Amino acid sequence: MLQNPHTTPTGKLYLIPTPIGNLGDITVRAIEVLKHADIVCAEDTRRARILFERYDIRCKPFSYRDHNAARMAPKIAGWVKDGKTVAIVSDAGTPGISDPGFRAVHSVIEAGFPLEVLPGSTAVIPALILSGLAVDRFCFEGFLPVKKGRRTRLNELAAEPRTIILFEGPHRLTTTLSNLSDNLGNDRRAAIARELTKLYEDVKRGTLSELHQHYLSNPPKGEIVIVIEGLKAFKKRMKSEG
């Protein structure tokens, strides 16, 4: 059944992408919305304040994180119902992708209130292009499950024909590369994009086995995106090289 927005006056929820590293990568429109918002919710209020100080955004951010999302999401919908302009920002990138923003989106949509997603910074597309792997078809898998469901997901990825994009934390990277190498094959090409747009941006390319060995000897720091050759391109390359 199609849902229609309420006819009575309401506010609006905005999802605002924030820079993934370089603070200059925020849009003019994002700054304007944040400056005029009645309420801003941030995944990390400390990081939000650094950005707000840079652009003279005076609204004090509310905390909206995984641990309080179930409670805050209906509260956000209530603020919109009361005519407030509410903005959500994540730690970095677009809210709703691998963060609690989706809960607020669901609550606002279910209530029939308006929302808008601004375009802006994301680590996914820059990492994909920097990888040098096929960009015509790709899938984004977010973070792999840490325990439950991890083996199933790895088995699914082994048969994925498209280029694969994953997020990972630095402390789990070597374990994940080992798991990927075991399940997808040592010779699958991949790239590790680290600290994108920041001072120490780094991209390493090689096979899963080579990258695993590299990071065993060179423990990584910072935010990480893994891009992996899909099965179709892998088979084609193995046939041409064989």
pLDDT in tens, 100-155: 899 999 999 999 999 999 999 999 999 999 999 999 999 999 999 999 999 999 99
- Mean local confidence (pLDDT), 24-34: 96
Looking at the DSSP bridge assignments, the partners of residue 166 are 226
pTM of the predicted structure, to 2 decimals: 0.89
Model confidence at 9, pLDDT cuts 50, 70, 90, reads low
CATH topology of domain 12-117: Cobalt-precorrin-4 Transmethylase; domain 1 (3.40.1010)
> Does the structure show a pLDDT above 60 at 3?
no
Alpha-helix runs per DSSP H in the chain: 28-36, 45-54, 69-81, 101-111, 124-131, 150-158, 173-184, 208-217, 231-241
Domain boundaries, the chain: 12-117, 124-237
3.30.950.10, 1.10.260.40, 2.60.40.10, 3.40.50.720: CATH of 124-237: 3.30.950.10
pLDDT in tens, 192-238: 999 999 999 999 999 999 999 999 999 999 999 999 999 999 999 99
Phi-psi region of 6 (alpha: psi -120 to 50; beta: other; left: phi over 0): beta
C-beta of residue 133 within 8 angstroms of C-beta of residue 108: no
Model confidence at 10, pLDDT cuts 50, 70, 90, reads confident
Q: Can you give the pLDDT at residue 183?
A: 97
pLDDT in tens, 141-177: 999 999 999 999 999 999 999 999 999 999 999 999 9
Read off φ and ψ for residue 41, nearest 5 degrees.
-110, 130
